[in-house]
Amino acid sequence: MRDINERLNYLIQSVPAKVKQYSEQEFSVRIEGRWSKKEILGHLCDSATNNHHRFIKIQFEKQPFVIVPYDQNNWVMIQDYQNMSLDEIISLWTVLNRHILRIISRIPEEKLGYMCDIGDNKSMTLFELVQDYLRHLEHHLKQIFGTSEL
């Protein structure tokens, strides 16, 4: 978990500075008819919101905890990230991820093995879910910034 915490902390420190290197216009261009960089960053806020609850509930609710999916496209559309200021989105992303870091750094070792049902007859541990959160975050940050190191 220490590696995950360190990596997430690093991203929380470096991503806002990296975002400031771009203009609002650059972040607003839709990529191949899909989400713009602003919308991808907004999607990462939605992911943080959903996983924030999951990381807590898995520790205290009946095992295996059932992960309820969310319609990511509608979340992005309804929240209108495209028309929010980039500063507002990155501020939200930063606060949410600081909070997630606080939560995951306090998960007791014995709870990391708690199981959650992710659907399609698949399950994963809380530790694996935290790892997947970071993997998902990094995947989308690469979409935003390319392959350059973060």
Residue 115 domain-assigned (yes or no): yes
Residue 98 domain-assigned (yes or no): yes
Tokens read off for 107: 């998960």
Percentage of the chain beyond pLDDT 90 is 95
Residue 126 domain-assigned (yes or no): yes
Mean pLDDT along residues 80-87: 97
Instruction: Provide the domain limits for residue 129.
Output: 1-145
CB 31 within 8 A of CB 92: no
Residue 150 domain-assigned (yes or no): no
- pLDDT score of 149: 67
**Domains identified in the chain, total number:** 1
Q: What is the CATH number of the domain that holds 41?
A: 1.20.120.450
The model's pLDDT over 99-146, given as tens digits with 9 standing for 90+, comes to 999 999 999 999 999 999 999 999 999 999 999 999 999 999 999 998
